[in-house]
Amino acid sequence: MIPLIGLLAGIVLGIVLEPTIPQALQPYLPIAIVAAMDALFGAFRAYLEGTFTDRVFAVSFISNVLIAAAIVYVGDQIGVGSQLATGVVVVLGIRIFTNAAAIRRALFHA
Amino acid sequence: MRRRTRRSQPTSSTISNGPVDKLEESDGLEKLEESPPPTPSTAHAPDASMDLLNQIIREPVDPDYALAAARGRDPSQGRWMLGVLALIIGALFAVAALQTTRAAPALKSERAELITRVQAAEREQDELRSRVTSLTEEIATLRAAALGDDAARAVESQINTLDPVVGNVAVTGPGVLIVVDDSPSATADARDRVLDIDLQVLANGLWEAGAEAVAINGHRLSSLTAIRSAGDAITVDYRSLTRPYRVEAIGDVRTLQARFVESSAGAWWNDLAQNRQMRYEISNVKQLDLAADPGIVLRHAGRAAS
């Protein structure tokens, strides 16, 4: 319940406050969000399996976001930024889909 | 590169790999994505080179969740961290979505700005062209004033004869108007469209039939005019045309049309009209006003022998 409230509050806060992201960080925001989604789905699946832990979720979320952004940043520096971004999205996308399928099976038994 | 390193892992260090990773994880080091190969048998699996994808699909959940659960939860870890993280994630979503929606009108206005800039540049080009025409006329008057003596007057009269033919001055007179256009089914078949070569044939046929001055959609043709296609449009002197194409030719009205129809160009267009249903209308006009070709510039000038 707390995470759901937090999520909604965060969305409201983001819309109301409209924090301006520094121009240098803007390209990494979408990738960071995909990484965050991956962590979220992983956490939800772990929660359904009864193995969820706050600490692991926090660490996995933060490092996921940072690593994804860092990969794209390094790629940008050496000229393969968009390719690496695609790679990150593909890998995380597969994980998200797999986790989503597991969550669906756990929730609906279908 | 990546494939090779991936491949070398199971073959070279299968034995040491597993225990080492286990050790690290039990130390409490939070390792993401990296996890030991589940069983040694995968080392010789036929899809060993696809290890990365297999691993992603097989272990989508962080293995640390299971480890931490096995170690036993510590409820003292307050729920506030989860709430804060959820807050951050929500804010991230909202900000990104806001930015994307904000950026959309900006991109749109950028595009509109570019379009207006293109249009302004085109207007400027038109102005410059008309300035060229007026300056050319000024040159002609100045030349007439400067060329005083008899020898010069001979040159002047030669210039006056040649100018209308080469397209250097605007001309007026009776002639023929030919309107051509794509056939109605042009969208279905690209061959039903008027191509640059069709207009080239048409213009050359008119010259052949004795036209003194030819213009396509108001663009006067000279011996230096290029009729080309650029993308979807046909260009005359690098100015793109819009359909339908109006070809005006000044010449002897009594013979021009008949000679054109008899020429190979007439046969070409007859064929297009018959077999491709292209629009092809030819008519005599009492008066046509053709502007000068602004593309003609003074390329060579020398002092007259005195």
From first to last of its 110 residues, chain A has per-residue pLDDT tens of 777 888 888 888 888 887 777 888 888 888 888 888 888 888 888 888 888 888 888 888 888 888 888 888 898 889 888 888 898 899 889 888 888 888 888 888 76
How many Å lie between the alpha carbon of B72 and the closest alpha carbon of chain A? 9
From the candidates A5, A45, A55, which should be mutated to test the interface with B, based on the most B CB atoms within 10 A?
A: A55
Which of residues 44 through 83 in chain A touch B, CB cutoff 8 A?
45-46, 49-61, 63-64, 67
Question: Strand, helix or coil at B279?
Answer: strand
Question: Strand, helix or coil at B129?
Answer: helix
Residue B11 lies in a domain: yes
Which of these, B179, B185, B175, B233, lies nearest to B202 by C-alpha position? B179
Kindly state whether B15 is in contact with chain A, defined as any CB-CB distance less than 8 angstroms.
Answer: no
8 Å CB contact of A98 and B93: no
Which residues in chain A have Cβ-Cβ distances shorter than 8 Å to B89?
7, 10, 36, 40, 61
**Regions of chain B short of the pLDDT cut 50:** 1-42, 75-76
Residue B304 lies in a domain: no
- B73-77: list long-range contacts, CB under 8 Å, 24+ apart: B73/A53, B77/A53, B77/A54, B77/A55
Q: Chain A: residue nearest B80 by CA?
A: A2
Residue B208 lies in a domain: yes
8 Å CB contact of A30 and B96: yes
Beta bridge partners of B290: B171
* Residue the block writes with tokens 């690209």: B190
How many Å lie between the alpha carbon of A8 and the closest alpha carbon of chain B? 6
Q: How many domains does chain B have?
A: 2
Torsion B16-B22-B23-B25 (CA) sign? positive
How many Å lie between the alpha carbon of A82 and the closest alpha carbon of chain B? 18
Question: Strand, helix or coil at B85?
Answer: helix
Report which secondary-structure segment, H or E, holds A107.
Answer: helix A81-108
Query: By residue range, what is the domain housing residue B26?
Result: 2-72
8 Å CB contact of A13 and B91: yes
Q: Chain A: residue nearest B73 by CA?
A: A53
Q: What is the pLDDT of residue B116?
A: 93
Domain-terminating residue out of B57, B72, B87: B72
Q: What is the pLDDT of residue B88?
A: 85
Kindly state whether A102 is in contact with chain B, defined as any CB-CB distance less than 8 angstroms.
Answer: yes
ipTM over 0.85: no
Q: What is the pLDDT of residue B223?
A: 81
Domain-terminating residue out of B26, B57, B72: B72
pLDDT digits (tens, 9 = 90+) for B254-300: 888 888 888 888 888 888 888 888 888 888 888 888 888 877 777 77
Residue B142 lies in a domain: no
Q: What is the pLDDT of residue B186?
A: 57
Q: Chain A to chain B, count of Cβ pairs less than 8 Å apart? A: 141
CATH code assigned at B206: 3.30.70.1880
Q: Chain B: residue nearest A55 by CA?
A: B77
Q: What is the pLDDT of residue B305?
A: 58
Residue B297 lies in a domain: no
Q: CA dihedral in degrees (B6, B8, B13, B14; nearest 10)?
A: 70
Q: Chain B: residue nearest A44 by CA?
A: B61
8 Å CB contact of B89 and A64: no
Q: What is the pTM of this model?
A: 0.45
Kindly state whether B238 is in contact with chain A, defined as any CB-CB distance less than 8 angstroms.
Answer: no
- Distance separating alpha carbons of residues B161 and B52, to the nearest angstrom: 81
Q: Where are the domains of chain A?
A: 26-108
8 Å CB contact of A10 and B94: yes
Q: What is the pLDDT of residue B119?
A: 92
Q: What is the pLDDT of residue B120?
A: 94
